[in-house]
Structure 1
Amino acid sequence: MTAVRPLPRPTTSPSIDAPRRSRLAPVFSRQLRFLSPRGPGSAKSASALLLATTFSLVAIGLIMVLSASSFALAAQGQSPYGTFLRQGLWCALGLIALLVFARIPLRLYRRLSRVALLGSFALAVLVFTPLGVEVNGNRNWIAIGSMTIQPSEFLKFSLILWGAGVLTDRVNLQRNPRHGVVPVLLASGIALCLVLAGRDLGTALILAPVVGGLFFFTGARLRSLMLGAGVVLFAVIIAVLSSPNRLKRILVWLDPSGAGAAEGLGYQGTHAVYALAGGGVFGVGLGQSRQKVHWIPEAHNDFIFAVLGEELGLAGAALVLILFATLAVAIVRIARLADNPYAICLCGSALVWVLGQAVVNIAVVTGLIPVVGIPLPFISYGGSSIIALLALVGVLLSCLRTAGTTRDAVGSG
């Protein structure tokens, strides 16, 4: 019986119809691996993504603060670099805070969060003492010599640290869920009352979603969250109706073409839109903004995005939006890598804080919502804001240190 020889395999020759591997495929595959929340070196890449995005936003902020403030300072006979140098000092202090907070373990955050919260409450109360300073109708600052501090920024930071620990404390929640919910609601209510007492509705509009994020990322029911949102909305309506200035701002926003709107309370918003429209696709050039010259008051603060849009155009504004979106991706990756209830709650609340504040600020500048005093995170001028935000980035880096560890390593959460 003769053995049957196997047929030789047909040699494959390149064919015109055969699918070709794109030269860009390796590039895209590397990017997808970089965005993957798991895999070897993922914690290192997540921290690199977070730091690269944060430092990019801070660098853009320093450049725009210099551009937006230099002309006004020079016109007043002062050094055009004064505001820029102060912001640079705040960024340096914030970098130190980032490095320190990144080295602190989460277990220590849980222990010290109550002290931090009480300290921030004490600072918030000092606003109503002779140390308090009123700016544009808002009493939300403390003056210590030549330095001013905005306690509400540190209040948000400490409330996140403490509230996340209370709501993820398994021992108390197993005894009675109200042992965690009631204290957080009480502390949040006190914080909101202190902020609203200083007539700072903008900060209250950010603080309320941050508190909602604490409950959402600890598994609160949708019905409870909707009820809380309704209470906050009712409080905002009361705050608006009780202030003729706020009511007029909303009326001007509803009818921007009304007589005198561009010269009255709609002045900033109208010229911010002019600035964005005049920037075109690639802008008029860095330092060449026209609207910042006597048209947009405090252009280096809440309306710095308008100056950025005019000088860098749609391309520069889109770059800032992409950086904030990338920052959100980095925070989500850190939360998934940490895999701990306390770390997840911290990351989720931080995401609500940073992204929510950025969305509100950009919506105000583009005229989508009425004008409220909200700085653009990492970019607007402000020492308290940049220090608190960079310290928050340090906390997020600390959350990465829990990746692959047991839950007992960060406390009872």
Structure 2
Amino acid sequence: MDYGVLMVTIGLLTALGLVVAYSTTTTWSVVAEDSTVWSSAVRQTIYVILGLIVMWLAMKLPLDWVRRFSPLLMVVSIILLIAVLIVGTGAEEVGSQSWLRLGPVSFQPSELARVAIAIWGAHYLTGCTAPGKNLHVRQWVFLGVSFITCVLIMSQGDFGMTATTVLIVVALLFFTGMSWVWIAAGGGLAMFLLAVLLIFGSGYRAERISTYMDALTGHFDETRTSAFQTYQGFLSLGDGGLLGLGLGQSRAKWYYLPEAKNDFVFAVIGEELGLWGGIIVIGLFAVLAVYGFRTAMRNTKPFMALMSATLVAGIVFQAFFNIGYVIGMFPVTGVQLPLLSSGGTATVITLGALGLVVSCARHEPEAISSMQYNGFPTIDRLLRLPEPSPNDGMLGARRATLPSEEQLEKRRERGSVAQRPAGTRPRRPRPHERASTSALRHDFHPVERKRPSDGRQERPYTTERYRAHGRDSRRTR
């Protein structure tokens, strides 16, 4: 099933991220104040454990609750984005004021805002269509809220987070069926505004454009100033070769690559694991994209389809941008590599978002049918996950009519539902029985009923019986 492949892929990326964190953070932990060589690695392990707990809770949480509280989540994220801009409240790191500090704990609200706009947008735009070239009123409202969110993130000086948020908004509008005319016009306008901010904004952003042009040509003029990190990333990838230097053997992490544990972690992976290691990382994100989008296509609930597709698109776009600027395809934007870069807020929120995607995969019709006939998978029993309901995620919509336990008990008393012997599996309905069993559950199955008058068995009226009776057997005048 799709959600099994998704869980394996997420587990491999998380495990690889922990291994890389232990390799890249030890050098910088030595020079930090009041820190030991393993302090950063242990801290990242705690973040991963916390993220896995959040992922487990997201898998257990009914998706109706996710829909119901998505507007509140969006409001809270906007309030936190405003709080970051208040003098004395927000903290500045790496050139952007995008952090809230609560004692020893720091939190980045823009990470929450990206996930919130995907969840709330999927809820708000469910059932919304844009006929022809006209926008639906809900799409105008969504665009307004998205514009406010992007402006608040851009005001913090975080260009990379703004770009990925814009891509999430565009992806969600594309999935709702918006016309290509509006998508092209909006995307072109957004790219133009971002280019203006890059050129006429802060000096270091203009230097990034110059460094990007040098990376495209392969000729660096400022290898000791503005292009230092990009140049060192190229050297790290070149040193790795085909098979790499081995885990923990990177030379760039010894203060040659300033952001070895965050933005340029892919360069360290390429140096230690070589070309094949980089291909494996790209392949894992490709598997995540394929099975995530397939989950959206297979799901019959519009909310689940929109939410899973948008969340997966946001994570894959972020990985694509990070790997792209490390190898020189894009300007350096400061976007982290999901699940592989060190960071608390990004790790916890990314794992929580992937938990919602896995929950949507568990609610596929094929997955529900497999669980009803074959029983719960071992991983579900170990995690004590609830049985996925066919009605989950249909907030405000007409729900399927499934019999309750009381109704089933009354049917058993009347003899319309047979008691299945303990330890046996329910038999599959025959072709002539499927028309009368639109909603099947694992605790009952259709059987041949006895007539109360003569006690004879009632047989289905098949084509063979019709032919045996002949056309003259019908009552005519």
Same fold (TM over 0.5): yes
1:353 paired residue number: 314
The correspondence for 1:128, drawn from 59, 75, 85, is: 85
Give, in angstroms, the shift of residue 75 of structure 1: 4.6
| Structural mapping, 1:158-173, within 5 Å | 158-169=116-127
Counterpart check, 1:247 vs 2:203: no
Distance change >3 Å, CA 58–CA 163, structure 1 → 2: same
| Between structures 1 and 2, the one with greater helix share | 1
The correspondence for 2:115, drawn from 151, 157, 172, is: 157
1:88 paired residue number: 45
Give, in angstroms, the shift of residue 81 of structure 1: 1.2
Amino acid at match of 1:187: V
1:56 paired residue number: 12
Distance in 1 of aligned mates of 2:52 and 2:166: 27
SS in 2 for 1:148: strand
Give, in angstroms, the shift of residue 259 of structure 1: 7.0
Distance in 2 of aligned mates of 1:322 and 1:258: 30
Moved more, 257-266 or 360-369: 257-266
SS in 2 for 1:336: helix
Is the contact made by 2:130 and 2:179 (CA closer than 8 Å) also made in structure 1? no
Q: Deviations over 1:349-385 (max 9, x none)?
A: 1122111100100011111111110000110011111
Is the contact made by 2:236 and 2:271 (CA closer than 8 Å) also made in structure 1? yes
Moved more, 338-347 or 215-224: 338-347
Distance in 2 of aligned mates of 1:85 and 1:266: 32
Is the contact made by 2:318 and 2:335 (CA closer than 8 Å) also made in structure 1? yes
| Structural mapping, 1:374-389, within 5 Å | 374-389=335-350
Counterpart check, 1:213 vs 2:197: no
| Structural mapping, 1:3-82, within 5 Å | 45-76=1-32, 78-82=35-39
1:410 paired residue number: 394
Distance change >3 Å, CA 295–CA 289, structure 1 → 2: same
Q: TM-score, normalising length from structure 2?
A: 0.73
Is the contact made by 1:60 and 1:379 (CA closer than 8 Å) also made in structure 2? yes
The correspondence for 1:290, drawn from 251, 276, 281, is: 251
Give, in angstroms, the shift of residue 169 of structure 1: 4.1
- What is the percent sequence identity of the aligned residues? 31
Which blocks of at least 5 consecutive residues in structure 2 are unaligned? 366-388, 398-477
Q: Deviations over 1:128-161 (max 9, x none)?
A: 1212111121111111101111111100111111
Distance change >3 Å, CA 102–CA 127, structure 1 → 2: same
SS in 1 for 2:68: helix
Amino acid at match of 1:119: V
Give, in angstroms, the shift of residue 339 of structure 1: 2.1
Give, in angstroms, the shift of residue 56 of structure 1: 0.6
Moved more, 251-260 or 161-170: 251-260
The correspondence for 1:101, drawn from 40, 52, 58, is: 58
SS in 2 for 1:60: helix
Distance in 1 of aligned mates of 2:334 and 2:390: 42
Q: Which has the larger radius of gyration?
A: 2
2:298 paired residue number: 337
SS in 2 for 1:364: helix
Counterpart check, 1:137 vs 2:137: no
Moved more, 338-347 or 198-207: 338-347
**Highest relative contact order (Cα 8 Å, sep 6+), 1 or 2?**
1
Moved more, 235-244 or 184-193: 235-244
Distance in 2 of aligned mates of 1:93 and 1:210: 25
Distance in 1 of aligned mates of 2:146 and 2:185: 15
Q: Deviations over 1:165-187 (max 9, x none)?
A: 111145999xx963311221011
1:364 paired residue number: 325
Distance in 1 of aligned mates of 2:187 and 2:135: 20
1:193 paired residue number: 151
1:31 paired residue number: none
Distance in 2 of aligned mates of 1:76 and 1:245: 26
SS in 2 for 1:141: strand
Give, in angstroms, the shift of residue 408 of structure 1: 8.2
1:271 paired residue number: 232
Q: TM-score, normalising length from structure 1?
A: 0.84
1:114 paired residue number: 71
Which blocks of at least 5 consecutive residues in structure 1 are unaligned? 1-44
